[in-house]
């Protein structure tokens, strides 16, 4: 019963919050990525919220962390549509300005 309540509250936050949210599956504090490598997975599109999520991941990351940028295209979307080309260009500028360290 508590798990269902927590999941429903989490879904409410993810759908309606006007801020970024980071979700950890386990309550065990030893599993938090403190003083060890962290992997961020950011879903991107051309909207402002996904840009903010990417920038938040950059701010929260430390040297040695991984940030995976993922775009899931619709099955009807052309391989190289105007949208995907614009998305690639947007994030290539981000990546071009980054260096390790």
Scan for tokens 């429903």, then name that residue.
8
**What whole-number distance in Å separates Cα of residue 87 and Cα of residue 4?**
36
**What whole-number distance in Å separates Cα of residue 5 and Cα of residue 25?**
14
Mean pLDDT by 10 residues, the chain (101 residues): 69 76 74 81 88 89 90 78 87 78 49
**What whole-number distance in Å separates Cα of residue 8 and Cα of residue 35?**
31
pLDDT of residue 100: 53
For 11-41, give the DSSP string.
HHHHHH-SS-----S---GGGS-SSS--EEE
What is the enclosing helix (H) or strand (E) of 85?
Answer: helix 82-96
**What whole-number distance in Å separates Cα of residue 27 and Cα of residue 3?**
12
Which tokens is 69 given?
């940028």
């Amino acid at each position: 019963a508590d798990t269902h309540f927590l999941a429903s509250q989490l879904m409410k936050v993810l759908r309606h919050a006007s801020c970024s949210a980071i979700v950890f599956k386990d309550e065990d504090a030893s599993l938090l990525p403190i003083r060890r490598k962290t992997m961020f997975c950011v879903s991107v599109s051309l909207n402002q919220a996904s840009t903010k999520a990417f920038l938040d991941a950059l701010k929260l990351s430390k040297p040695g962390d991984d940030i995976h940028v993922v775009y899931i295209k619709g099955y009807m979307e052309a391989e190289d549509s105007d949208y995907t080309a614009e998305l690639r260009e947007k994030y290539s500028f981000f990546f071009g300005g980054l260096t390790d360290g």
